[in-house]
């Protein structure tokens, strides 16, 4: 499209850097500090200048961390916080880095018996340790080192296996524990390694009776399978809140089925399940594929060349994670070396890809974001921000932004002071993303516009990335063989009636594909001013003043004869009027809009439509809102009444002639302009509806709308929108 994404960023109000955040001031007073003073000499933060620029949450964390001042100085963070001060997302930006800072100075808090075995493992190599400090080493309980993970159980007895588990978990189970011996023997019979046994039994280990554990685990598996099977009906996902199929258990370093967790119901996601969001890297030059025991070598795992799963695991453990959803490990990937599993991948993707947003968008969900690639250092250079592969520029990340986010890959080089301009750019982009994806604030055209400037490996991913944000109660399945128009049409069917109404009125010209009432995906893709469209919002008028089914409904197989799908709504209709744009001669003759003007006039009009249809469609053009056309609308009420005439703003050019005006829902100042091309009985509504070919949308003054209403020119009728010619 030839557009620079950054030129599209909204300008946001920025407070003065001198302003003291009230919450920060309260926090400093609680620490015995004046907002304008420096800390007392005894404070570990005494070497930090301009303390008022540090967000309160980070200030509190660092104040209680030994060496916090050194950390701030070494990482050169103070200038960055001074830049965020007064910015609308300063608190959320501080949340990005607060937990990594804490993890550098103290171990994550988690429950573990005192007698549990302590493991230590290093990242990288002695010659080249990881640049990311949180990837350099981990020491803690419960998380197995490599030797324990891969320990074969083939030569173990039940007693040996129990001793190992007690040693790792700090417990004192014996073979006298009811059902335990039989439970352990089942895993020995499966030739599992210790990591696999540990991952399956750890969630259930605190029980005092193992008699029913195998039955419970099998029941959970059956419930999980049933839940996923019942979630799909035909080509529709009727249950969108599906948990991920697999998780990466960081303690055992194994990928496990979700049903292994000891949870109260099949779709419950416990708070110790986190999610990882990351950008991709160039497939040809920067991506490699590795086989791993972590996922039992089910598929080769795509990774950046300079990242590895071992170091990533260390960082996630240091941040406090236990289970994570990471797509390259938990979502079945394409693998050219295992073509026999392609059928299984496509089958799983039908459900797993559309519902992937659920794990990121849950309230309170912790999401770790690698902005520059999985496991890679966080950098903020202009080249990184402008890259097609940066996290901010990818499609799927729109649904992977949450409120509790943590930046992965942080290191001292992430905060170079010379990158201040790029930090401002990053902050503005994050603000726009937070604002756009916040709950109940979705702007349809703005979302589509933002989708367009983002990149994806498959064009249909742009459209699938939209559907979860729209809050559709049902979702289309993911089928990579479908065209973009197929997927777009499926999503429109699953929008809410209000969203479809927004599409009908906000897009002021005819569609060029299956339906003329809404734009095709190709039209949206070619439009470079979607961000200027402000779809009208409902006014919440008295329901008695608007027709039943006022917003645009999708009725599958609603036709009496052809059984086709229809889009229809109840409306207020002015059956016939004359329209002429400025500079276009008004048609001769008068038109009567009385109720007794029936089929004879309709047939005459339809014949005229047939002659002009193709030229009318070709002649139509569109302009950005505010740059459209002025036109005159005349309604002749017959020889005994004076004409009603008013001026309107047309969103697209149309030929002079006779049209029908349609008042949609409670959008008082907007009228759809169309032509009646027939009638159709809609059994679901028990009504006969006008079949309308949409031509344009006009905006009229409030006084003109009030005049039309006072003269009672509108008649209630059902309206159906026909397909494109």
Torsion of CA 58, 61, 62, 64, to 10 degrees: 160
Is residue 199 scored above 90 in pLDDT?
yes
Same domain, 212 and 156: yes
Rounded CA separation 192/396 (Å): 36
DSSP structure class, residue 39: P
In a domain, 124, yes or no: no
pLDDT of residue 30: 35
Q: What average pLDDT does the segment 273-292 reach?
A: 93
Does residue 415 or residue 645 have the better pLDDT?
Answer: 645
Same domain, 153 and 298: yes
Q: What average pLDDT does the segment 202-215 reach?
A: 93
pLDDT of residue 96: 75
Q: What's the distance, Cα to Cα, between the start and end of the chain in Å? A: 28
Rounded CA separation 248/330 (Å): 7
Q: Which residues pair with 692 in a beta bridge?
A: 676, 721
Average of per-residue pLDDT values in the chain: 80
Which residues are CB-neighbours of 465 under 8 A, at least 6 positions away? 395, 396, 398, 399, 451, 454, 456
Q: Which of 221-235, 426-440, 622-636, 657-671 reaches the highest mean pLDDT?
A: 221-235
Is residue 177 within 8 A of residue 204, CB to CB? The reply is no
pLDDT of residue 573: 95
Q: Which of 149-153, 547-551, 720-724 reaches the highest mean pLDDT?
A: 149-153
pLDDT of residue 636: 78
How confident is the model over 311-341, as pLDDT tens digits? 999 999 999 999 999 999 999 999 988 888 9
Same domain, 399 and 338: yes
pLDDT of residue 353: 95
Secondary structure tally for the chain: helices H, strands E: 24, 21
Q: Give the pLDDT band of residue 5 (cuts 50, 70, 90).
A: very low
Q: What average pLDDT does the segment 667-689 reach?
A: 88
In a domain, 454, yes or no: no
Is residue 474 within 8 A of residue 232, CB to CB? The reply is no
Is residue 598 scored above 50 in pLDDT?
no
Full DSSP string of 648-682: EEESB---SEEEEEEE-TT-TTEEEEEEEEEEEEE
Residues composing the chain: 725
Same domain, 334 and 412: yes
* Plot region of 510 (φ>0 → left; ψ -120 to 50 → alpha; else → beta): beta
Does residue 237 or residue 626 have the better pLDDT?
Answer: 237
pLDDT of residue 79: 61
Q: Which domain holds residue 615?
A: 535-721
- Sign of the alpha-carbon dihedral angle for 225, 226, 229, 230: negative
Q: What average pLDDT does the segment 44-71 reach?
A: 49
Q: Quick one: which H or E segment has residue 140?
A: strand 137-141
Query: In degrees, to the nearest 5, what angle opens at C-alpha 389 toward C-alphas 290 and 422?
Result: 130
Q: Which of 113-122, 149-158, 543-552 reaches the highest mean pLDDT?
A: 149-158
Residue 69: closest CA among 41, 97, 95 = 41
Lowest average pLDDT, out of 117-131, 420-434, 635-649, goes to 635-649
**How many domains does the chain fold into?**
3
In a domain, 119, yes or no: no
Q: Quick one: which H or E segment has residue 571?
A: strand 566-581
pLDDT of residue 134: 92
Is residue 422 within 8 A of residue 382, CB to CB? The reply is yes
Q: What average pLDDT does the segment 569-597 reach?
A: 66
pLDDT of residue 439: 58
Q: Which residues pair with 302 in a beta bridge?
A: 289
Structure tokens at 349: 């993707």
Rounded CA separation 641/146 (Å): 91
Lowest average pLDDT, out of 135-139, 326-330, 423-427, 529-533, goes to 529-533
In a domain, 529, yes or no: no
pLDDT of residue 600: 39
Same domain, 399 and 548: no
pLDDT of residue 153: 94
Rounded CA separation 694/723 (Å): 10
Q: Which residue do the tokens 């999401």 mark?
A: 367
Torsion of CA 540, 546, 552, 553, to 10 degrees: 110
Q: Give the pLDDT band of residue 436 (cuts 50, 70, 90).
A: confident
Same domain, 705 and 622: yes
Domain boundary at 80, 105, 130, which? Answer: 105
Same domain, 100 and 190: no
Label the pairing between strands 246-249 and 254-257.
Answer: antiparallel
pLDDT of residue 84: 58
Q: What average pLDDT does the segment 489-507 reach?
A: 91
Q: Give the pLDDT band of residue 581 (cuts 50, 70, 90).
A: confident
Lowest average pLDDT, out of 49-58, 85-94, 371-380, 558-567, goes to 49-58
Q: Give the pLDDT band of residue 588 (cuts 50, 70, 90).
A: very low
Does residue 278 or residue 592 have the better pLDDT?
Answer: 278
Is residue 53 scored above 50 in pLDDT?
no
* Plot region of 516 (φ>0 → left; ψ -120 to 50 → alpha; else → beta): alpha
Q: Give the pLDDT band of residue 143 (cuts 50, 70, 90).
A: very high
In a domain, 461, yes or no: no
What are the Cα distances from residue 291, in Å, to 288, 298, 675, 720? 10, 8, 61, 55
Is residue 558 within 8 A of residue 528, CB to CB? The reply is no
Structure tokens at 584: 């276009």
Same domain, 183 and 256: yes
What are the Cα distances from residue 223, in Å, to 21, 273, 361? 50, 19, 24
Residues 615-645 as b/e (b if ≥16 CB within 10 A, e otherwise) read ebbeebebeeeeebbebbbbbbbeeeeeebe
Domain boundary at 438, 465, 489, which? Answer: 438
Rounded CA separation 84/94 (Å): 9
In a domain, 89, yes or no: yes
Domain boundary at 391, 407, 438, which? Answer: 438
Rounded CA separation 267/286 (Å): 37
Is residue 52 scored above 70 in pLDDT?
no
How confident is the model over 343-378, as pLDDT tens digits? 999 999 999 999 999 999 888 899 999 999 999 999
Same domain, 237 and 164: yes
Does residue 617 or residue 696 have the better pLDDT?
Answer: 696
> Crossing angle for the helix pair 194-201 and 158-169, nearest 10 degrees?
60
How confident is the model over 61-98, as pLDDT tens digits? 555 555 555 665 666 666 666 655 555 555 666 667 77
Tell me the percentage of the chain whose pLDDT exceeds 90.
47
Is residue 47 scored above 50 in pLDDT?
no
Same domain, 282 and 361: yes
Rounded CA separation 47/27 (Å): 18
Same domain, 313 and 390: yes
pLDDT of residue 478: 96
Q: What average pLDDT does the segment 299-320 reach?
A: 96
In a domain, 513, yes or no: no
Same domain, 153 and 258: yes
Q: What average pLDDT does the segment 284-309 reach?
A: 95
Is residue 364 within 8 A of residue 404, CB to CB? The reply is yes
In a domain, 277, yes or no: yes
Full DSSP string of 599-611: HHHHHHHHHHHHH
Q: What average pLDDT does the segment 191-208 reach?
A: 94
């Amino acid at each position: 499209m030839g557009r620079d994404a950054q030129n599209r960023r909204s300008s946001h109000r920025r407070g003065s850097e001198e302003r003291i955040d009230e919450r920060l001031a309260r926090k400093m007073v609680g620490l015995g500090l004046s907002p304008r003073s420096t800390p007392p000499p005894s404070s570990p933060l005494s070497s930090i200048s301009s303390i008022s620029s540090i967000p309160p949450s980070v200030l509190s964390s660092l104040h209680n961390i030994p060496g916090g001042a050194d950390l701030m100085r070494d990482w050169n963070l103070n200038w960055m916080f001074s830049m965020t001060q007064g910015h609308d997302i300063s608190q959320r930006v501080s949340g990005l880095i607060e937990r990594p800072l804490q993890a550098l100075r103290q171990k994550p808090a988690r429950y573990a018996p005192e007698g549990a075995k302590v493991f230590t493992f290093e990242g990288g190599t002695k010659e080249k340790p990881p640049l990311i400090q949180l990837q350099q080493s981990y020491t803690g309980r419960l998380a197995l080192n490599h030797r324990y993970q891969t320990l074969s159980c083939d030569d173990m007895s039940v007693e040996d296996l129990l001793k190992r588990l007690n040693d790792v978990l700090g417990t004192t189970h014996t073979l006298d524990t009811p059902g335990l011996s039989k439970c352990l023997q089942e895993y020995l019979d499966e030739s599992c390694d210790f990591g696999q046994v540990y991952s399956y039994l750890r969630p259930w280990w605190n029980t005092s009776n193992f008699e029913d554990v195998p039955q419970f685990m099998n029941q959970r598996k059956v419930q999980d399978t049933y839940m996923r099977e019942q979630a799909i009906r035909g080509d529709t996902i009727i249950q969108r809140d599906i948990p991920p199929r697999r998780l990466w258990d960081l303690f055992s370093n194994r990928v496990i089925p979700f049903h292994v967790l000891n949870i109260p119901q099949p779709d419950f996601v416990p708070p110790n399940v986190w999610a990882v969001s990351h950008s991709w890297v160039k497939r040809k030059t920067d991506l490699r594929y590795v086989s791993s025991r972590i996922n039992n070598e089910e598929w080769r795992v795509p990774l950046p060349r300079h990242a590895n799963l071992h170091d990533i695991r260390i960082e996630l453990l240091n941040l406090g994670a236990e289970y994570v959803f990471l797509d390259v490990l938990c979502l079945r990937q394409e693998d050219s070396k295992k073509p026999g599993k392609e059928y299984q991948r496509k089958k799983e993707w039908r459900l797993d890809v559309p519902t992937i947003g659920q794990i990121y968008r849950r309230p309170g969900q912790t999401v770790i974001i690698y902005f520059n690639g999985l496991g890679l250092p966080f950098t903020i250079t202009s080249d990184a921000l402008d890259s097609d592969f940066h996290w901010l520029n990818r499609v799927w990340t729109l649904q992977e932004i949450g409120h509790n986010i943590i930046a992965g890959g942080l290191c001292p080089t992430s905060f170079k002071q010379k990158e201040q301009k790029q930090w401002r750019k990053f902050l503005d982009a994050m603000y726009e993303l937070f604002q756009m994806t916040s709950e109940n604030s979705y702007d349809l055209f703005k979302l589509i516009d933002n989708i367009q400037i983002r990149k994806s490996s498959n064009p249909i991913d742009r459209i699938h990335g939209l559907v979860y944000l729209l809050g559709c109660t049902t979702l289309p399945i993911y089928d990579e063989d479908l065209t973009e128009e197929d997927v777009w049409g499926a999503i429109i069917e699953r929008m809410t009636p209000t969203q479809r109404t927004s599409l009908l009125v906000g897009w002021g010209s005819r569609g060029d594909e299956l339906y003329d009432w809404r734009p095709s995906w190709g039209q949206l893709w070619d439009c470079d001013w979607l961000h200027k469209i402000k779809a009208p919002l409902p006014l919440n008028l008295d329901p008695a003043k608007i027709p039943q089914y006022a917003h645009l409904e999708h009725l599958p197989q609603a036709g009496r004869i052809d059984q086709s799908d229809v889009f229809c709504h109840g409306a207020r209709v002015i059956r016939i009027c004359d329209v002429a744009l400025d500079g276009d001669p008004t048609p001769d003759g008068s038109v009567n809009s009385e109720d007794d003007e029936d089929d004879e006039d309709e047939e005459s009009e339809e014949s005229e439509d047939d002659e002009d249809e193709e030229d009318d469609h070709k002649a139509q053009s569109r302009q950005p809102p505010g740059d459209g056309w002025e036109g005159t609308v005349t309604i002749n009420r017959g020889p005994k009444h004076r004409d009603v005439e008013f001026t309107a703003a047309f969103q697209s050019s149309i030929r002079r002639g006779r049209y029908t005006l349609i008042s949609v829902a409670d959008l008082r100042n907007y009228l759809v302009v169309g032509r009646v091309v027939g009638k159709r009985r809609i059994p679901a509504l028990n009504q006969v509806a006008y079949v309308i070919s949409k031509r344009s949308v006009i905006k009229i003054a409030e006084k003109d709308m009030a005049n039309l209403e006072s003269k009672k020119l509108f008649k209630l009728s059902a309206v159906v929108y026909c397909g494109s010619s």
